[in-house]
Amino acid sequence: MIRVVIVDDELHLREGLSRLLERHCPNVSLVGVAGSVGEGKEVIRRQHPDLLLLDVRMPDGTGFDLLRQLDPVDFKIIFITAFDQYAVKAFKFSAIDYLLKPVDPDELKDALKKAEDILQHDLRIRLAALENNLSVGSDHHKKLVMKTFDNIYIIEIGSITHCESEGSYSSVFLEDGRKIMVSKNLKEYDEILNDQGFYRIHKSYLVNLAYVERFSKVDGGFVILKNGVKIPVASRKKDQLLELFDHLWD
């Protein structure tokens, strides 16, 4: 079932959409409704929907304002509005579709089918990564699924050199020089990778110890990676990191 939240300031439209979903969309579960940006933010944080049906203009702001307040945006979006001039901006937020009021039932069904196909594709990618991780013997070849607004990446864990905090997002750096910004904070990646040879050397940095070339004592302490990247070490992490190095390079 696709978990859906509706955010629209018009009561009759919320009720109409609810009826359309109930009559025509058996694979959808409506888990919340809201009539404003403020209410929408609370409902989304509470319900964790797969899909958001989102109005553009509301009394306390726009749907775009709502999305900017929700880091990360880890759900799909269908915009619903009476104003077609917002279409380009909507798709900059990677909207699945953009429906004009009054909503046509067939257009809504088509948009929801598109959302279902995308969500199923995401699931298949995650399952493929899980199957790979269960079958490989080496942690180096285990894979991690990373989602951005525009792409889903399947990355070998061993190819990640380090991760850097970007507020509610993280930048993941790869050995081939690529940088992928993903909608997870660094704490989440620390929890995922801390038993895969990664160490949180600073509140803003998580490092793959396999890529550390040396530790420099200057300027409070840095690690230098094999690709020359220089990353600061928090003073409270220094002793524990040096103990790890003694163990790794003994």
pLDDT value at position 129? Answer: 47
Report helix, strand and coil shares of the chain as percent, to nearest 5.
Answer: 40, 30, 25
Q: Is the pLDDT of residue 2 over 90?
A: no
CATH fold for domain 2-124: Rossmann fold (3.40.50)
pLDDT value at position 199? Answer: 87
Chain segment 180-218, per-residue pLDDT in tens: 988 788 888 888 888 788 889 899 999 998 898 888 888
Helices and strands of the chain, counted as H and E runs: 7, 17
pLDDT value at position 183? Answer: 77
pLDDT band of residue 7 (cuts 50, 70, 90) is very high
Tell me the CA end-to-end span of the chain in Å, nearest whole number: 52
Q: Is the dihedral of CA 16, 17, 20, 22 positive or negative?
A: negative
Ranges in the chain annotated CATH 3.40.50.2300: 2-124
pTM, 2 dp: 0.50
Chain segment 145-163, per-residue pLDDT in tens: 787 767 778 888 889 999 9
DSSP 118-185: HHHHHHHHHHHHHHHHHH-S-GGG-EEEEE-SS-EEEEEGGGEEEEEEETTEEEEEETTS-EEEESS-
Ranges in the chain annotated CATH 2.40.50.1020: 138-248
Chain segment 86-145, per-residue pLDDT in tens: 655 555 555 777 787 888 888 888 888 888 777 765 555 454 544 554 455 545 457 787
Superfamily of domain 138-248: LytTr DNA-binding domain (2.40.50.1020)
